[in-house]
Every structure is written in structure tokens, then in C-alpha cells.
Amino acid sequence: MKRFLVFCLLLFPLFLSCKTSPVPRQTHVESWNTGGNRQHQVKNRGKVTLLSVSVNRSGGWDSIHNEISGLAPLLLWKHGFCVVSNIQDADFTADVRVHEREYLSKWRSKRSLALEVRIWAVSESDSGKTESVFENQLPLAAGRVISTGNLSLSSSQTMEQLLSLAVKNAAKQIKMYRQVNNE
């Protein structure tokens, strides 16, 4: 009986290391209700259109691009913007840039993640402009988040946290701009 008990105690850590434990993994759940008239449901910081999303990463960038393209409008709405599809109807235009690079640190591979949200004011004369015109102008507001370590943009939770923080920081700058200009 002693041998059996010792044998079981030795195998127990092995089972845990193989992730056979019945303990559920950590999950993150979030939902948005954007029904009805969206302009009156949020602190309206203005109407914004998403100009572009660019992902600079070696391999697997298209799924990250698609996820950010779908999530960015929801996070902009969450932080007080009314998201519109036409630049003619927008007060602001935004773009999202994502960079993931790998580097070696003490013989270990690590990642550097950078995610930035840039927002420009749109005037009536800007209605026909494209992304390249805004690229040459300094943005009105920007939010940038940098993370180094073992995290990857392949993790939806990591990507959502970085994007949410960058949008929050950019929205805070727009709020201050509107307060200063009494808009």
C-alpha cells in the first residue's frame, strides 16, 4: 500500500504538468450593447471613422488585422465616440498600427509589442482625402501602449487589452482638446 501511495504522489505532478487538471482556464468575457441611437447612449466625444488598420508582424498578421478591424469600432464606441462609416459624416478619423517584433535576451526569445491609435480632426475640405494625406499630418491625439516580455498578439486577450488602453489614452486626449476649445 505504501508503494502505491508513493507511486501516486510521484505521478500527480506529472498529470498537472500535462494540463490534464479539471481546473478551467482563465476566460475573459465582454459584451457591448450599441442598439438604438448610439449618439445619445455614450459620452459623445464626436463622430469617428476608422481610416485604416496596419499590422507589422512576421507571419499570421491577417487574423490579427481582422480582429482589430472588428474590435476597434466597439472600443471607440465604448470610450465615447460615435462610429460612422463615411468620412464626410465624421468629426475625426482614426487609424490603428500594431507592431510585434522578436528579440533575444539572455538566450531567450522575447517579444516587443507596440500598439498605437492615432486620431486626426476632419474638416469639410478633408472629405475626399485618403490615408496618405493624414499620414503627412501630425495627429490631433494619439495613444500608444508598449509591452515587452513573453506576450504575443496571437493572444486575443493581450491584443484587446493593449488596444483598449491605447483607445482610452487617445480618447482622453480628445476629451481634453474639446474642453480647452469649448466644443
Question: Residue 8, Cβ neighbours under 10 Å: how many?
Answer: 10
In a domain, residue 26? The reply is no
The sheet carrying 92-105 orders its strands as 82-83, 47-56, 92-105, 108-121, 141-149
Reference 139, options 94, 102, 87; nearest CA is 94
Q: Please report how the helices 61-78 and 156-180 are oriented relative to each other, as an axis angle in degrees rounded to 10.
A: 40
Rounded CA separation 17/15 (Å): 5
Annotate 32-55 with b (16+ C-beta within 10 A) or e (fewer). eeeeeeeeeeeeebbbbbbbebeb
Could you give the percent of the chain with pLDDT greater than 90?
A: 25
Q: What is the pTM of this model?
A: 0.74
Q: What is the pLDDT of residues 88-147, one digit of tens each?
A: 888 899 999 999 888 888 888 888 889 999 999 887 665 555 555 677 788 999 999 998
| Run of H or E residues at 3 | helix 2-17
What CATH number is given to the structural domain containing 89? 3.30.160
- Print the domain residue range for 129: 38-180
In a domain, residue 10? The reply is no
Domain count, the chain: 1
Q: What is the pLDDT of residues 40-60, one digit of tens each?
A: 444 677 889 898 898 887 777
pLDDT of amino acid 71: 93
